[in-house]
Structure 1
Amino acid sequence: MPAPSSPVEIVVVAQNSEAPIGHADLTASRSAETRIIELASPGATVTRSFGPANRLGDRVRGTSLESSGSALLNYFSITGFEGNADEIAAALAADDAVASAFVKPPAEPPIAPPVEGAVAERAPGTGDAPPSTPDFTGSQGYLDAAPNGVDARWAWTRPGGRGAGIQIVDVEGAWRFTHEDLLQNQGGVISGPESADIGWRNHGTAVIGEFSGDDNGLGITGIAPDANVRAVSIFGSGGSAAAIRTAADALGAGDVILIELHRPGPRFNFAGRSDQLGYIAVEWWPDDFAAIQYAIGRGVIVVEAGGNGAENLDDGLYDTPAAGFPGSWANPFRGGTADSGAIIVGAGAPPSGNFGSPRSRLDFSNYGSRIDAQGWGREVVTTGYGDLQGGPNEDLWYTQQFSGTSSASPIVVGAVAAYQGINAAGSGRKTPSDVRNRLRTTGSGQTDGPNGPASQRIGSLPDLRALAGVIKVKDIKDAKAEKLEKVEIKEGKELKQEK
């Protein structure tokens, strides 16, 4: 069963300027907050998306956001309200203290819909787990060398290549940090209550296993097992933008945030659907976009699931703002001045051939020029769910069916963490733009497939050797052979001319 959605949010943007945060801005923001609380329905919770107003100035000082930091004082999230969300948003937008107000549809984990006609997926199974868990790493093909995997096994031989010193925060709904394969280098949930739903818990457990599974001789091993991993829940934390901001505040420059969420977009009027058609990346919504830019401004790398809506994100549909969006909003899928700076991930076919040619776009994956990289979107072996190893104890569950841009994004996160670990042990950590540019210009290229040509961009699968700028011996031999061939052709032409 899919995990339940997060609550609907009403996002309010107060009237204010875009300037360095000063005393007048703080006073105006507090006045607006008081008015928004008055206008919200009784019992509703009003939360500042960017935390306490008097702390924000220090947090943006020295970053690219310092000159416009007052704009971040404007964002408020309302949850737990009673009544019609659209009517409440309209009433708020009509007030002089409010610049705009809009309804944000619930977020969901971007796990792919089940394969049509397949047996029931992710059932924990019956009976007890074996006395000891087998080693499943041989089935983790995404650890293998390019072009099928990210070449994590090579990265492990390099200083820092296991992600040492790199911190990762996963933003979603719930996790199982007591799992037998998630006990090392784990910091647990640092903000927000976890959802009690097993769907969210299995999802978060599977995500973290891909990049952080313990290297302990049993079960699975993550791509960057030495990285430190923590989590922030979107439940009870003032919504997804506040969760992203909280994650950014917990990290340093060169660390990584993973956003494991997508939302129903305008294609079907923002309605939730079991097939997830029309679902898109969360940065399309202004407050999530601002939170991502806040993280990027602090030097934190943000990796974002591209969504499972089968959408072309270059479609003109996404140029039209939703009702209540601020007048300054621009479509972030166009990039340019509206570029959030995040790494957006699409879902590609695994090398088994069961879903088309390896690295071709899977049918559910969103695509477009804004997508930066891809990961496996089917057949991912990791922790959770219990279809590979089940039993009554969730701490022993493993899956071989994790999917979606849900499974693709952690592969990219693992590669980024391993790459940053190598950099940290060498010339120093790279910036968010440096890392994204390397992902877009290296890797194992996308292929044509049954769901569309490679021009429907989901990007390349990361290749850690190429990311790190290391040439393979085979490449050297091929280059030498190519050079020798050119010399032989040239000499042959010269000999012919002499004759």
Structure 2
Amino acid sequence: MTELPRPRVVIRFHEGFDSRRHEDAVGYLKERDPATLKRVEAAFGAVRIEPVFSDKTREKLPKLQRLAVERDPSYNPSDLTTFHYVEAEKADDLLALAKMLSSSSAIRSADVEIPGPDPLVNDADDPLSANQTYLDAAPGGLDARYAWTFTGGDGAGQRVIDIEQGWTFNHEDLAGHGITQLNGVLVDGSRGHGTAVLGELCAIDNTLGCTGFAPNIASVFVASRNPSLANSIVDVLDNLDFGDVMLLETQDGVPGTVPTMLGPSEIVEAVREACRLATALGIVVVAAGGNGTNNGSAPATNLDTFTDAGGNLVLFRNNANPDFFDSGAIIVAAATSAAPHTRLVYSTHGQRIDCYGWGHNITTCSSDAAGATTIYRNNFGGTSGASPMVAGAALCVQGIYQAATGGRLSPRQMRQILSDPTFNTPRAPAEATAMGVMPNLRGIIDNVLGIVPDIYIRDHVADTGDPHNGAISASPDIILRPVAVADPQASFGEGSGTENSSSLGFEAEAGQDNFLYVRVRNRGGAAAANVQADLFWSPASTLVTPDLWTFVGSTNMPNVPTGNQLTVSNAVTWPSAAIPAPGHYCFVGLIGTVNDPAPGPADFLNFDNFRTFIRENNNVTWRNFNVVDNDPGDPEAQITLNWLVPGAPDKARRFALHLRLDLPRRAEVLLDLPLGILRALDAQVELVKIDHRRGRGIAKLPQIGDVRFGPGLIDAKARHDMKLLVRLNSKARGKHSIVARQLYEGKEEVGRLTWVFDPMRRKARDALDG
């Protein structure tokens, strides 16, 4: 019989840790920060440092993280091989050891991992089914019986993995699933716990005992948290597919509390990162919130006030809290079985909690240390009992959605659906603490899975909502007009004849109010209610990062029907006083609804996310436009085009800049640019003037041809202010253009500007092809 791993300190070296030094991490720390190591050894004796992730798991990480980025553009991969366990000879006070280590210049963070005990505290012919009232309708139960009336609602085609410590695989109500253990060491003393969890999840409809939420599930896997939970999570990921469910039936101690309080295992940073990798890969992670003191007494762990060894509020979900790290997991609290539901006194609570389930009076399978196969119980509970209910609801929802659409819901979508208070069961009005909602499968099926919407706004006229390599700044669905339109739907919507027009409006008239309209399609299986579009403008830039965005306004579309019909918003008024000076600019549009949420500007701040968003997220688009003067003045005057070449928002990165010119003979074109960008991006241009005081130069450009800068390193958040000075030949005919493109690593286009010159109008406007 193997017991829980002993409490340990988990450190995270700073990025750049040489992964080849795993076998001599003590030597690495001595080399990087000998003073801290000396203090630690003086206080705690000899130190041993070992990697959290095994050799086998570390080999998998690069492939898993590459796949995670492909599946979830908001995932920011970090080097998980920097996590290590630290043990010391005389480490009686692990929190003191963690705090001393966290002060090291070589160490990014330190946690105390205190593995907690198991977080305890046609179905009519199954004898105990009548006792399983958590399967009944809301508000008392989650209404799995209703879900079973839909194809896939019994878990058909779905897969689940339960990570804890022990099970009896050949229990009479589970044996037919052919349960497979993927890793770790089974703890005999935990067999009853794991068997009870699986009974709730997937006990078979077989005339014996009870029935689980997903009795016809396709595959059941298990994995032990021994010897390392973070390693176990990552190690099993290559056995799972997008949309599968992972249940973490574990809890960990809160360091520094007496008696030791218990909370979700993701209070440890390595576990949070492992869960984030899982959700980025599309795995729906459901985790027990933890049972406080584990003896039914108050107080319970408040995740809003939990601090790690560095004093950070890492689990306080609040937009104003920069320390919060969202693993993407669904965290579950425990409540009373009777409605209206109140939180059980020992259950974890806080804004980080997404859902709750029953915390007592649960009828399910059981076992003992010897592996009994015919035992049942009616008193299972705690967050251990609540979490399988939420995981079971996820399996029902995923099964119905997959059967209806052929697709699968992402972890973000699943969490949004299961935690939405509009159709799930709220906590009792008298309950003051945050504990989420209990999933109501009837409410979800009737209001969401009929089926979820998939709204999109096009990047170019041929965009169908899928990832593409086409234009990214020529959306036909942001329409700018100097005069309001009486009936936008009739003018621009389905059947208007303008569905695929890119020339409906891309110029704002200075000195007056202008009007913006947004067009949206819905290729999903359900109508989208209350679709919100947020519009921003940005100065002309070859990289339109969120720090350049200025909010214009929002509009709401009460209903966007299914069937890919083009739906048009009412006007967003852009007041005259808010319109920038004449010039070339860019609109950014974000659209979203409850079950197909828009990305937020913060999602774009990591540059790797940004690169994927501009190509693959169909809830965001760009549109180049001009502000023009009603009185353009002398048609022979020099045209000045201001624009920016920015750096990435997160760190210095290598970019190239390409200019392509197609101007008439005898046209004159100069480029007024900072000398700094010439130093950063070497270019073969002829400087006709240098002003060292201003730090700028003027280069003469050809009328026809390419001019290339770089690639070279541009600092994070740099803003290189560029000016094109163009004078056209008065006798020129036809349209001419200048294209400026910014390329990441000199290869991947991440933004462009196109100016088209129409000598008949003597002014520049944006190209329709982006």
Say which one has the larger Rg.
Answer: 2
Residue 259 of structure 1, aligned match among 248, 251, 270: 248
Cα 1:305–1:49 change in 2 (3 A) is farther
> Separation in 2 of the partners of 1:223 and 1:82?
48
Residue 147 of structure 1, aligned match among 135, 139, 147: 139
> Separation in 1 of the partners of 2:325 and 2:417?
21
Point out the structure with the larger helix share.
1
3-state SS of 1:462 partner: coil
Residue 418 of structure 1, aligned match among 386, 389, 396: 396
> Separation in 2 of the partners of 1:88 and 1:366?
26
Find out whether 1:210 has 2:210 as its counterpart: no
Residue 84 of structure 1, aligned match among 88, 91, 94: 91
Q: Which residue type is aligned with residue 58 of structure 1?
A: K
Q: Which residue of 1 aligns with 2:426?
A: 445
Identity across matched positions, percent? 33
**How much does 1:38 deviate?**
8.7
Find out whether 1:279 has 2:270 as its counterpart: no
3-state SS of 2:391 partner: helix
Find out whether 1:333 has 2:341 as its counterpart: no
Find out whether 1:220 has 2:220 as its counterpart: no
**How much does 1:107 deviate?**
2.5
3-state SS of 1:409 partner: helix
Question: Normalising by the residue count of structure 1, what TM-score does the alignment of the two structures yield?
Answer: 0.74
Residue 20 of structure 2, aligned match among 30, 41, 51: 30
> Separation in 1 of the partners of 2:185 and 2:48?
19
3-state SS of 1:425 partner: helix
Q: Deviations over 1:90-146 (max 9, x none)?
A: 78668776444443112322112xxxxxxxxxxxxxxxxxxxx97111101111122
**How much does 1:73 deviate?**
2.3
Cα 1:55–1:369 change in 2 (3 A) is closer
> Separation in 1 of the partners of 2:216 and 2:340?
29
> Separation in 2 of the partners of 1:409 and 1:399?
17
**Contact kept in structure 2, 1:347 and 1:365, CA below 8 Å:** yes
**How much does 1:158 deviate?**
0.8
**How much does 1:218 deviate?**
1.0
Find out whether 1:58 has 2:50 as its counterpart: no
> Separation in 2 of the partners of 1:460 and 1:98?
38
**Contact kept in structure 2, 1:293 and 1:341, CA below 8 Å:** yes
**How much does 1:148 deviate?**
1.4
Q: Which residue type is aligned with residue 274 of structure 2?
A: A
**367-376 vs 40-49, greater mean Cα deviation:** 40-49
Q: Which residue type is aligned with residue 376 of structure 2?
A: Y
Q: Which residue of 1 aligns with 2:289?
A: 306
> Separation in 1 of the partners of 2:371 and 2:117?
25
> Separation in 2 of the partners of 1:365 and 1:43?
35
1:227-242 residue pairs with structure 2 within 5 A? Answer: 227=217, 228-236=219-227, 239-242=228-231
> Separation in 2 of the partners of 1:312 and 1:187?
33
Residue 409 of structure 1, aligned match among 341, 364, 387: 387
**Contact kept in structure 1, 2:205 and 2:215, CA below 8 Å:** yes
**How much does 1:55 deviate?**
3.1
Q: Which residue of 1 aligns with 2:364?
A: 382
Q: Which residue type is aligned with residue 379 of structure 1?
A: N
> Separation in 2 of the partners of 1:53 and 1:244?
12
Find out whether 1:435 has 2:427 as its counterpart: no
> Separation in 2 of the partners of 1:365 and 1:395?
30
Q: Which residue type is aligned with residue 469 of structure 1?
A: D
3-state SS of 1:338 partner: coil
Q: Deviations over 1:51-87 (max 9, x none)?
A: 54443211111423888534222112357x7542638
3-state SS of 1:69 partner: coil
Find out whether 1:104 has 2:105 as its counterpart: no
**How much does 1:461 deviate?**
1.8
**Contact kept in structure 1, 2:151 and 2:403, CA below 8 Å:** yes
**Contact kept in structure 2, 1:6 and 1:107, CA below 8 Å:** no
3-state SS of 1:76 partner: strand
3-state SS of 2:6 partner: coil
Cα 1:382–1:50 change in 2 (3 A) is farther
> Separation in 2 of the partners of 1:8 and 1:175?
23
1:339-488 residue pairs with structure 2 within 5 A? Answer: 339-351=326-338, 357-385=339-367, 394-427=372-405, 428-441=407-420, 442-448=423-429, 453-469=430-446
**How much does 1:434 deviate?**
0.8
Cα 1:393–1:191 change in 2 (3 A) is closer
> Separation in 2 of the partners of 1:208 and 1:404?
15
Find out whether 1:181 has 2:181 as its counterpart: no
3-state SS of 1:426 partner: helix
Point out the structure with the larger strand share.
2
> Separation in 2 of the partners of 1:41 and 1:92?
14
Q: Which residue type is aligned with residue 424 of structure 2?
A: G
> Separation in 2 of the partners of 1:296 and 1:254?
9
Q: Deviations over 1:264-293 (max 9, x none)?
A: 225xx14555xxxx3211212211111111
**How much does 1:32 deviate?**
4.6
**How much does 1:407 deviate?**
0.3
3-state SS of 1:191 partner: coil
**Contact kept in structure 2, 1:36 and 1:92, CA below 8 Å:** no
**Contact kept in structure 2, 1:63 and 1:297, CA below 8 Å:** yes
Cα 1:383–1:54 change in 2 (3 A) is closer
**Contact kept in structure 2, 1:343 and 1:372, CA below 8 Å:** yes
Aligned length: 411
**Contact kept in structure 1, 2:172 and 2:208, CA below 8 Å:** no
3-state SS of 1:232 partner: strand
> Separation in 2 of the partners of 1:281 and 1:90?
21
Q: Which residue of 2 aligns with 1:292?
A: 275
Q: Deviations over 1:303-354 (max 9, x none)?
A: 0111111436354x32x3215x8xxx65123255622211111111112xxx
> Separation in 2 of the partners of 1:50 and 1:333?
33
Q: Deviations over 1:159-184 (max 9, x none)?
A: 11111121111111111111111112
Cα 1:102–1:369 change in 2 (3 A) is closer
Gaps of 5+ in 2: 30-44, 293-298, 450-770
**Contact kept in structure 1, 2:126 and 2:205, CA below 8 Å:** no
> Separation in 2 of the partners of 1:33 and 1:157?
56
**Contact kept in structure 2, 1:348 and 1:358, CA below 8 Å:** no
**Contact kept in structure 1, 2:134 and 2:142, CA below 8 Å:** yes
**Contact kept in structure 1, 2:116 and 2:262, CA below 8 Å:** no
Q: Which residue of 1 aligns with 2:734?
A: none
Q: Deviations over 1:428-458 (max 9, x none)?
A: 211111111111223122114xxxx333122
Cα 1:150–1:230 change in 2 (3 A) is same
Q: Which residue type is aligned with residue 461 of structure 1?
A: M
Q: Which residue type is aligned with residue 350 of structure 2?
A: G
**Contact kept in structure 2, 1:15 and 1:97, CA below 8 Å:** yes
**Contact kept in structure 2, 1:32 and 1:97, CA below 8 Å:** no
**Contact kept in structure 2, 1:307 and 1:365, CA below 8 Å:** yes
Per chain length, whose mean CA-contact separation is higher, i.e. which structure has more relative contact order (CA < 8 Å, sep 6+)? 1
